[in-house]
């Protein structure tokens, strides 16, 4: 095949001769695989790993040499047959970025802030998901992974703008939007988001478009910015094989700190079946403990178990391998890759496993004026995910059970969960379950198949005028299967009344849940492009196009509880019929758009763009949305002819408007299955052989409007000392109006909710990125990048009749937006205070009295974020590390809540658990003549038995939330890697052109504030959108990884 192509090309260029040469960089080092093309023809080759190339070219041809990160150069070969080229580092002006709709253009023309990453930067620490590699490296981007292998990643660019969720950016792969859905997710389980299906080794580069001006061409999807991913493509030349492999081991990260003074018991005394550490002081004496079985008991010393929870967790492993083949001739090039990730997390048993197989095949073909590129990708995932959050009547969730083990009882002893002392009948406490039971007996799995790709055709009519047709699709099928085992303690056993407190554990009725989800999108663009000069000074780059987008979703779920035969997990296994539900959703959008860029003397660029969308989810008579945008970029250093230290001064300004059409089906009134809430419990149909649908209590809105985001941004990029030092500054103000919410209304209207556009959220902030190369010598160089960003978020207004919007709740703590304040504020009960600052306590219990209004505990938004990336290169050794520091912000911790309840928490040894009186407190003794309360100094003692109640909301709602809402600042070492490129002599022994090995570490938590005794602040099981800002609710801890990697090119 290759030889045929060579023949064809040889015939076509009969006049051509063989030209050879070498491509080097400014330091004289070879540029491996540099691209060499004959200008004005499709004839091109890639140099080998030593920069040597061979190409057919006629005399006086112009050869164009280019490579990533280096400035292209053109050389007229004249009559020579040997041509060498030296390429200099790319200046900021010729760097290329990918902008909306997959159009590449030089960074000079771009009037808004962008950040780019190349493949090497992304894959340095061998992440399984591309987004993990970007965490902490982009100013203004809040990126956090919320759990273990395969879990979801939260990505918020420039603050939360949307009350109802949908704050993730648009992901675009090779110009086609990529769905980022989360299937089967709830507070109890997370199977990750759509981006997890992409193999990071397939990515050539990522450009992050943070602002609305940048993404306004995408219209209704890109209200939160866009992340543009470009995949690797083949280059012409001989067949290249690349292998990337890594093995890493994970250990558990931050775990709660326990108090080590008091052991099992309640109310200050030792109680055998209790699940907390409210007992006597630990004295190391060997005593009997746990259940009494067959008239015997186990014995152990009554002392603190060090690293009790740490020992519960295993060492996880992850194997990540990708093999790619690429190559091609002058007409067609291809790229094929196969990647596999096999990961077992730190939780013992198969509870957290992630396995992904990805296949990719991409071709590029060029025939004279016509190019056709294709991309076909398939990703298969098999994942087991742990049950987090609260258990239910069907079965337990692991982390809740681990936290309810007293500090003197070794958790790992319970691994033998069928042992007569540790089983369902005789586990030491009826108030909790053996954590190893749900670990081995319950399971949560998801298998999914995803296929996405596109065909991209380009035809150049003339040098200036061309047309592009791109059709893409993305189809996912996910199947979820979960089960919880049925069990009940036997009558008379320790856990069914046979213990010293006579308590019983309610049976676990077990459950089987089956879910199926389908999501398919089709996206087509037809674009006409025009590039020319209107005059010698004025250049024009313009395009106009049409877009068609369609999304179909279908899901169904069925569940049984009350399993009949234990161990048999099928929907037929219950006396009760399964509850089943199904759901379908379709939406379509048609858009037209246009953009023109006027350039003046290559120094001043004005970009104007406009898009109009028609959406199926808006009322049919008013379904049009218009989005304009404009940006200005001025390369001031060229205009002002700056010399000296400043090598580049560029000023930017931009303005853009995007929006979001609503979710489908909010417009028309409907019926709804009869379902009535009783306050506690419900009454639902079908009932008594009859079913019924009443008029839906939520009124649709026939004049529903889209949500509109407008943003203005100004910025500058300054580079000093020939590019050795650079500063990028951006300031933005983003307003999101017309949020779509269901507002509660008076039931006398016949309805309880109205879907309405309301409210306005404002995000403004500043982003700073400083990059420097302090040392740049022949053998050694040092470069670093520092980023800083701060965002101010404010809910400017809601609507009449709505004072606030509650975004999420956990017990009495809530995430609420009040107009005039930050959108994500955390509120919970606080004590009542007198005018002179004394706490009012109850005259009966001595516990703080609750104030009438909930108190404000702080915003969840970080005060600021900083990142630092450092890289040292010595000959062939590279050492890099990256730090992520986030200061401020608060969160609610469900882990803290449970640990305060059980007396395991570090802070529950206040006053050495001796009786105390709430400091600085008063009681109300009556009211005076004018009705004002009279206070007297409080003398009610909280004794040993009441001490426990002080830490729990049932008796001390007012005072217990201070230990549950914590500051979530942290400093993490995101990744550190040391790599070594082996000498060519060694590599050649295995016929390799480039062999490098490395070691790396990821996600090491270095610091959290003293008050955070509990959990890694990034962990959350409340999703990856605005609801997760409340915090976490008994979720799995996150882990850190240490690994080795190998890269080989052949």
> Quick one: which of 929, 906, 920 has its CA closest to 1010?
906
Three-state SS at 76: strand
Nearer to other proteins among residue 590 and residue 630 (C-beta): 590
Pick the binder of other proteins from 530, 721, 786, 952 (CB under 8 A): 530
Give the HSE-up count for residue 202: Cα atoms under 13 Å, Cβ half-sphere: 29
Spatial contact of 1035 and 399, defined as CB atoms under 8 Å apart: yes
Q: Contact letters (x/-) for other proteins, 734-763, by CB under 8 A? A: -----------xxxxxxxx-x---------
Tokens of 424: 């369902």
Give the pairing type, strands 296-301 and 176-178: unpaired
CB neighbour list of residue 654: distance below 8 Å, 6 or more residues apart: 111, 112, 211, 213, 214, 607, 629, 630, 631, 632, 712, 713, 714
Tally of CB atoms within 10 A around 679: 5
Pick the binder of other proteins from 699, 768, 966, 1015 (CB under 8 A): 699
Sites for other proteins among residues 406-425 (CB under 8 A) = none
Does position 315 bind other proteins by CB under 8 A? no
Q: How far is the CB of 431 from other proteins (least distance, A)?
A: 13
Does position 688 bind other proteins by CB under 8 A? yes
Three-state SS at 593: strand
Sites for other proteins among residues 597-636 (CB under 8 A) = 614-618, 620, 623
Provide DSSP, 177-213. EE-----S-BTTB----GGGGS-GGGEEEEEEE-SHH
Does position 843 bind other proteins by CB under 8 A? no
Pick the binder of other proteins from 241, 592, 879, 999 (CB under 8 A): 592
Separation between Cα atoms, residue 1016 and residue 1038, nearest integer Å: 7
Nearer to other proteins among residue 734 and residue 832 (C-beta): 832
Does position 538 bind other proteins by CB under 8 A? no
Sites for other proteins among residues 541-560 (CB under 8 A) = 544, 546
Pick the binder of other proteins from 538, 671, 806, 843 (CB under 8 A): 671
Sites for other proteins among residues 86-105 (CB under 8 A) = none
Segment interacting with other proteins, rule: CB under 8 A, options 226-234, 689-697, 903-911, 912-920:
689-697
> Quick one: which of 910, 919, 921 has its CA closest to 832?
921
CB neighbour list of residue 746: distance below 8 Å, 6 or more residues apart: none
Q: How far is the CB of 561 from other proteins (least distance, A)?
A: 10
Segment interacting with other proteins, rule: CB under 8 A, options 128-136, 579-587, 874-882, 1021-1029:
579-587
Does position 692 bind other proteins by CB under 8 A? yes
Does position 507 bind other proteins by CB under 8 A? no
β-sheet bridge partners, residue 19: 55
Tokens of 684: 């639902």
Pick the binder of other proteins from 6, 10, 534, 565 (CB under 8 A): 534
Pick the binder of other proteins from 17, 479, 588, 887 (CB under 8 A): 588
Separation between Cα atoms, residue 996 and residue 139, nearest integer Å: 31
Q: How far is the CB of 903 from other proteins (least distance, A)?
A: 21
Q: Contact letters (x/-) for other proteins, 772-791, by CB under 8 A? A: --------------------
Does position 590 bind other proteins by CB under 8 A? yes
Nearer to other proteins among residue 382 and residue 588 (C-beta): 588
Nearer to other proteins among residue 687 and residue 910 (C-beta): 687
Tokens of 46: 């890639």
Does position 677 bind other proteins by CB under 8 A? yes
Does position 233 bind other proteins by CB under 8 A? no
Spatial contact of 340 and 374, defined as CB atoms under 8 Å apart: no
Does position 575 bind other proteins by CB under 8 A? no
Does position 586 bind other proteins by CB under 8 A? yes
Separation between Cα atoms, residue 208 and residue 193, nearest integer Å: 18
Pick the binder of other proteins from 10, 12, 584, 777 (CB under 8 A): 584
Nearer to other proteins among residue 15 and residue 691 (C-beta): 691
Nearer to other proteins among residue 81 and residue 579 (C-beta): 579
Q: How far is the CB of 147 from other proteins (least distance, A)?
A: 30
Does position 536 bind other proteins by CB under 8 A? no
Sites for other proteins among residues 376-395 (CB under 8 A) = none
Pick the binder of other proteins from 582, 803, 936, 937 (CB under 8 A): 582
Segment interacting with other proteins, rule: CB under 8 A, options 47-55, 451-459, 686-694, 979-987:
686-694
Separation between Cα atoms, residue 858 and residue 888, nearest integer Å: 9
Separation between Cα atoms, residue 236 and residue 36, nearest integer Å: 10
C-alpha radius of gyration, the chain, whole number: 32
Nearer to other proteins among residue 11 and residue 746 (C-beta): 746
Pick the binder of other proteins from 70, 667, 718, 891 (CB under 8 A): 667
Q: How far is the CB of 676 from other proteins (least distance, A)?
A: 4
CB neighbour list of residue 341: distance below 8 Å, 6 or more residues apart: 128, 199, 318, 319, 320, 354, 355, 356
Residue position matching structure tokens 């490129």: 981
Q: How far is the CB of 697 from other proteins (least distance, A)?
A: 5
Size of the site for other proteins (CB under 8 A): 65
Pick the binder of other proteins from 10, 26, 695, 941 (CB under 8 A): 695
Separation between Cα atoms, residue 6 and residue 238, nearest integer Å: 12
Nearer to other proteins among residue 344 and residue 541 (C-beta): 541
State the SS3 of 422-461.
CCCCCCCCCCCCCCHHHHHHCEEEEEEEEEEEEEEEEEEC
Segment interacting with other proteins, rule: CB under 8 A, options 309-317, 468-476, 583-591, 730-738:
583-591
Nearer to other proteins among residue 540 and residue 879 (C-beta): 540
Hey, what long-range contacts does 534-541 have (CB within 8 A, 24 or more apart)? 534/598, 537/600, 537/601, 538/598, 538/599, 538/600, 539/597, 539/598, 539/599, 539/602, 540/596, 540/597, 540/598, 540/599, 541/105, 541/109, 541/596, 541/597, 541/599
DSSP 837: S
Q: How far is the CB of 356 from other proteins (least distance, A)?
A: 32
Distances (CA, A) of 326 to 3, 52, 344: 17, 19, 31
Spatial contact of 345 and 149, defined as CB atoms under 8 Å apart: yes
Separation between Cα atoms, residue 691 and residue 27, nearest integer Å: 80
Separation between Cα atoms, residue 209 and residue 229, nearest integer Å: 11
Does position 697 bind other proteins by CB under 8 A? yes
Q: How far is the CB of 468 from other proteins (least distance, A)?
A: 14
Pick the binder of other proteins from 642, 673, 806, 843 (CB under 8 A): 673
Q: How far is the CB of 463 from other proteins (least distance, A)?
A: 14
Does position 331 bind other proteins by CB under 8 A? no
> Quick one: which of 134, 113, 212, 182 has its CA closest to 651?
113
Pick the binder of other proteins from 69, 410, 645, 669 (CB under 8 A): 669
Spatial contact of 1022 and 1032, defined as CB atoms under 8 Å apart: yes
Does position 679 bind other proteins by CB under 8 A? yes
Nearer to other proteins among residue 473 and residue 700 (C-beta): 700
Pick the binder of other proteins from 693, 780, 874, 1007 (CB under 8 A): 693
Residue position matching structure tokens 């008076």: 746
Task: Report the interface residues with other proteins, using CB under 8 A.
Answer: 528, 530, 532, 534, 544, 546, 576, 582-590, 592, 614-618, 620, 623, 664-665, 667-674, 676-685, 687-697, 699, 745-752, 754
């Amino acid at each position: 095949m290759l030889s045929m192509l060579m023949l064809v090309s040889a015939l076509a260029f009969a006049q051509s001769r063989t030209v050879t040469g070498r491509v080097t960089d400014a330091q004289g080092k070879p540029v491996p695989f540099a691209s060499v093309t004959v200008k004005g023809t499709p004839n091109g080759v890639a140099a080998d790993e030593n920069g040597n190339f061979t190409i057919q070219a006629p005399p006086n041809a112009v050869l164009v040499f280019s490579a990533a990160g280096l400035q292209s150069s053109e050389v007229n070969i004249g009559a020579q047959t040997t041509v060498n080229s030296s390429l200099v580092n790319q200046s900021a002006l010729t760097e290329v970025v990918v902008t909306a709709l997959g159009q590449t253009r030089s960074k000079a023309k771009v009037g808004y802030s962008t950040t780019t990453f190349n493949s090497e930067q992304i894959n340095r620490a061998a992440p399984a998901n591309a987004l993990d590699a970007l965490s902490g490296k982009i100013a203004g981007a809040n990126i956090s992974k919320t759990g273990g292998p395969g879990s979801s990643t939260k990505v918020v660019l420039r603050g939360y703008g949307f009350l109802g969720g949908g704050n993730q950016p648009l992901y675009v792969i090779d110009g086609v939007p990529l769905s980022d859905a989360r299937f089967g997710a709830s507070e109890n389980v997370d199977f990750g988001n759509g981006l997890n299906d992409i193999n990071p080794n397939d990515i050539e580069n990522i450009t992050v478009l943070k602002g609305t001006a940048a993404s306004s061409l995408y219209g209704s999807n890109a209200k939160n910015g866009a992340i543009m991913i470009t995949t690797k493509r083949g280059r012409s030349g001989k067949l290249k094989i690349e292998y990337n492999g890594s093995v890493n081991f994970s250990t558990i990260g931050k775990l709660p700190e326990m108090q080590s003074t008091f052991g099992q018991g309640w109310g200050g005394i030792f109680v055998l079946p209790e699940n907390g550490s409210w007992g006597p002081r630990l004295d190391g004496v060997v005593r009997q403990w746990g259940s009494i079985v067959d008239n015997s008991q186990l014995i152990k010393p009554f002392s603190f178990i060090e690293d009790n929870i740490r020992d519960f967790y295993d060492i996880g492993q992850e194997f990540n391998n990708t093999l790619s083949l690429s190559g091609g001739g002058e007409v067609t090039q291809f790229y094929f890759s196969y990647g596999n990730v096999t990961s077992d997390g730190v939780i013992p048993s198969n509870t957290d496993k992630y396995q992904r197989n990805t296949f990719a095949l991409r071709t590029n073909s060029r025939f004279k004026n016509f190019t056709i590129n294709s991309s076909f990708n398939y990703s298969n995932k098999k994942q087991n995910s742990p049950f987090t959050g609260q258990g239910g009547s069907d079965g337990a969730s692991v982390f809740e059970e681990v936290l309810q083990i007293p500090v003197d009882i070794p958790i790992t002893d319970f691994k033998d969960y069928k042992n007569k002392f540790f089983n369902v009948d005789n586990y030491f406490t009826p108030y909790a379950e053996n954590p190893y039971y749900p670990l081995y007996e319950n399971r949560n799995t998801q298998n999914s198949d995803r296929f996405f790709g596109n065909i991209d055709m380009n035809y150049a009519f003339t040098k200036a005028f061309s047309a592009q047709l791109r059709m893409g699709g993305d189809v996912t099928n996910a199947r979820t299967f979960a089960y919880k085992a049925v069990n009940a303690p036997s009558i008379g056993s320790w856990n069914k009344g046979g213990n010293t407190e006579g308590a019983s554990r309610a049976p676990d009725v077990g459950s089987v849940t089956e879910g199926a989800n389908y999501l398919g999108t089709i996206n087509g663009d037809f674009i006409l492009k025009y590039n020319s000069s209107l005059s010698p000074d004025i250049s024009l780059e313009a395009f106009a196009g049409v877009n068609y987008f369609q999304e179909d979703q279908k899901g169904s779920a069925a569940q049984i509880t009350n399993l009949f035969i234990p161990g048999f997990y099928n929907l037929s296994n219950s006396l009760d019929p399964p509850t089943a539900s199904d759901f379908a959703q379709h939406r379509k959008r048609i858009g037209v758009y246009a953009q023109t860029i006027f350039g003046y003397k290559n120094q001043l660029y004005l970009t104007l763009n406009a898009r109009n969308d028609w959406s199926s989810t808006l009322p049919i008579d008013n379904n049009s949305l218009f989005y304009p945008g404009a940006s200005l970029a001025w390369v001031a250093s060229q205009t002002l002819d700056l010399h000296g230290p400043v090598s580049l001064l560029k000023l930017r300004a931009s303005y853009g408007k995007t929006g979001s059409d609503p979710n489908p089906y909010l417009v028309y009134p409907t019926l709804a299955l009869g379902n009535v809430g009783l306050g506690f419990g419900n009454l639902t149909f079908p009932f008594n052989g009859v079913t019924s649908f009443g008029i839906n209590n939520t009124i649709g809105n026939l004049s529903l409007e889209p949500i509109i985001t407008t943003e203005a941004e100004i910025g500058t990029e300054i580079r000093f000392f020939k590019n050795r030092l650079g500063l990028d500054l951006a300031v933005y103000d983003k307003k999101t109006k017309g949020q779509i919410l269901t507002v509660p209304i008076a039931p006398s209207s016949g309805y309880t909710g109205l879907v309405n556009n309301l409210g306005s959220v404002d995000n403004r902030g500043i982003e700073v990125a400083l990059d420097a190369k302090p040392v740049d010598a022949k053998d050694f160089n040092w470069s670093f990048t520092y980023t800083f960003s701060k965002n101010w978020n404010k809910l400017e207004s809601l609507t009449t009749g709505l004072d606030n919007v509650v975004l999420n709740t956990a017990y009495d703590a809530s995430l609420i937006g009040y107009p005039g304040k930050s959108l994500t504020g955390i509120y919970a009960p606080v004590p009542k205070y007198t005018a002179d600052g004394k706490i009012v306590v109850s005259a009966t219990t001595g516990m703080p009295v609750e104030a009438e209004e909930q108190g404000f505990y702080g915003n969840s938004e970080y005060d600021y974020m900083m990142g630092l990336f450092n890289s040292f290169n010595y000959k062939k050794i590279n050492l890099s590390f990256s730090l992520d520091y986030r200061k401020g912000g608060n969160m609610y911790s469900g882990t803290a809540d449970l640990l305060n309840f059980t007396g395991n928490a570090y802070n529950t040894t206040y006053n050495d658990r001796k009786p105390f009186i709430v400091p600085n407190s008063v009681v109300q003794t009556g009211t005076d003549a004018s009705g004002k309360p009279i206070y007297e100094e409080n003398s009610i003692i909280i004794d040993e038995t009441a001490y426990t109640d002080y830490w729990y909301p049932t008796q001390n709602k007012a005072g217990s939330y201070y230990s549950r809402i914590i500051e979530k600042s942290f400093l993490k070492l995101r990744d550190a890697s040391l790599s070594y490129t082996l000498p060519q002599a060694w590599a050649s022994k295995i016929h390799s052109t480039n062999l490098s090995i490395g070691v790396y570490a990821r996600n090491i938590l270095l610091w959290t504030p003293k008050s955070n005794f509990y959990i890694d602040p990034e962990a959350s099981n409340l999703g990856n959108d605005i609801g997760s800002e409340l915090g976490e609710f008994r979720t799995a801890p996150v882990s850190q990884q240490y690994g080795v990697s190998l890269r080989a090119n052949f």
